[in-house]
């Protein structure tokens, strides 16, 4: 059954009810910063903030797209797939999915009205783009009477982002959003593209602080880091950095540029932190888990250089609070959000003090919210 909120909005925009709907959660990158496209492991959590998509068929060969976030309606001829710019750039995510359909053996819908709604803040590092890709893929498949295995859905959505949108992301975002499970983290072996869930110890909480600073991966910084990692792997004579050891990276330092060395060192050490974090979680050791999270941020800050002054300030403030196990940037970096893993004794009053300190420092109040884990992408 399509949920009433998106049904009412769909009726308001299109004058009729949707036939199908789906939603996909945002995600927290728990640990494993930029390890995914380097073939390493990563851990994430699907969260109870979503992108929802409703759809109904049309018989006139028209594709209509409406975003509740932007308030814009776009009309395209069916199968007219080309990159969009400006206020319509959000269309590149569903268009990328439609572009990928034939390559994955699926037929595209001939005509439709589509509406998207979201309570995920765009540009916050919570992967609204992957959630949009997964939700639209499920909606298009439902509309055309097709089905897909979850792992293949992840591959299709990632293909859309890599090949059409142009972001050379790994499989983290789509994988966590697809395989999420309440009260669990999602562990991904990005080399083998296998997925597993890891139970969360009792009485742990996630807090997210959105800096409202720029998080536009497509504008080059993400691609630059990707390129530096690939260059470092080539210099080390390995296919991907997951195949390198810290000793190899150190030995190759004279032949690497300063940036290549730092990127490679971050990645190989971050891969080790992910494995250590799995062991700590399975043992219920949240103190060690928190220490690893904060160490991950410091490596992002100093070696991968994808943090910002705003993100560093929040991590500094949070880690001074005795109810915080650890904190780190969550996502691609270059703005976005900080995640804190906390005890239940961390309250809204603590979050408010952090926000007020940030506002004094940067003259803007960050958005802070408490999140729960969620199940993965599915029809609604």
Q: Which residues of 75-108 are buried (b: 16+ CB within 10 A; e: fewer)?
A: ebebeebeeeeeebebbbbbbbbbbbbeeeebeb
Give the residue among 345, 323, 339, 343 at the shortest CA–CA distance from 371. 339
- CA–CA dist 4, 13 (Å, integer): 14
Q: Is 285 a catalytic residue?
A: no
- CA–CA dist 86, 70 (Å, integer): 11
- CA–CA dist 60, 99 (Å, integer): 20
φ and ψ at 354, to 5 degrees? Answer: -60, -45
Catalytic-role residue among 119, 173, 316, 350: 173
Residue 2: which H helix or E strand, with range? none
Q: What Rg value do the Cα atoms of the chain yield, rounded?
A: 21
- CA–CA dist 205, 344 (Å, integer): 7
End-to-end distance of the chain based on CA atoms, in angstroms?
A: 6
State the DSSP code for 207.
E
State the DSSP code for 202.
S
User: Which ranges of the chain would DSSP assign to H, the alpha helix?
Assistant: 4-14, 92-100, 128-143, 150-159, 172-179, 221-235, 246-251, 258-282, 286-299, 309-319, 348-362
Helix (H, G, I), strand (E, B) or coil at 183: coil
Question: Which residues are part of the catalytic machinery?
Answer: 173
């Amino acid at each position: 059954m399509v949920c009433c909120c998106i049904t009412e909005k769909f009726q308001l925009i299109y004058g009729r009810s949707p036939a199908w709907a789906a939603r996909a959660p945002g995600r927290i990158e728990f640990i494993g910063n930029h390890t995914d496209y380097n073939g390493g492991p990563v851990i994430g959590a699907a969260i109870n903030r979503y992108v929802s998509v409703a759809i109904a068929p049309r018989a006139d060969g028209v594709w209509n797209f409406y975003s509740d976030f932007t308030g814009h309606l776009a009309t395209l001829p069916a199968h007219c797939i080309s990159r969009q710019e400006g206020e319509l750039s959000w269309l590149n995510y569903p268009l990328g999915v439609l572009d990928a359909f034939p390559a994955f053996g699926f037929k595209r819908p001939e005509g439709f009205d589509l509406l998207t709604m979201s309570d995920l803040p765009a540009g916050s590092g919570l992967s609204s783009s992957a959630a949009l890709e997964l939700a639209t893929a499920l909606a298009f498949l439902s509309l055309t009477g097709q089905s897909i295995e979850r792992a293949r859905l992840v591959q299709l959505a990632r293909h859309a982002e890599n090949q059409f949108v142009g972001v050379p992301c790994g499989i983290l975002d789509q994988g966590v959003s697809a395989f999420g499970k309440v009260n669990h983290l999602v562990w991904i072996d990005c080399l083998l593209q296998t997925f597993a869930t890891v139970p969360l110890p009792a009485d742990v909480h996630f807090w997210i602080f959105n800096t409202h600073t720029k998080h536009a991966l497509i504008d080059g910084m993400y691609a630059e880091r990707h390129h530096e990692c690939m260059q470092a792997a080539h210099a080390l004579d390995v296919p991907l950095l997951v195949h390198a050891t810290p000793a190899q990276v150190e030995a190759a330092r004279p032949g690497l540029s300063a940036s290549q060395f730092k990127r490679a060192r971050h990645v190989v050490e971050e891969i080790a932190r992910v494995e250590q974090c799995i062991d700590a979680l399975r043992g219920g050791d949240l103190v060690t888990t928190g220490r690893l999270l904060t160490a991950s941020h410091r490596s992002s800050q100093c070696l991968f250089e994808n943090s910002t002054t705003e993100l560093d300030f929040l991590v500094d403030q949070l880690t001074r609070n005795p109810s915080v196990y650890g904190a780190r940037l969550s996502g691609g970096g270059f703005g976005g959000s900080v995640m804190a893993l906390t005890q239940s004794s961390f309250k809204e009053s603590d979050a408010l003090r952090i926000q007020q300190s940030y506002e004094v420092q940067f003259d803007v109040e960050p958005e802070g919210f408490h999140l729960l884990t969620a199940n993965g992408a599915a029809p609604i």
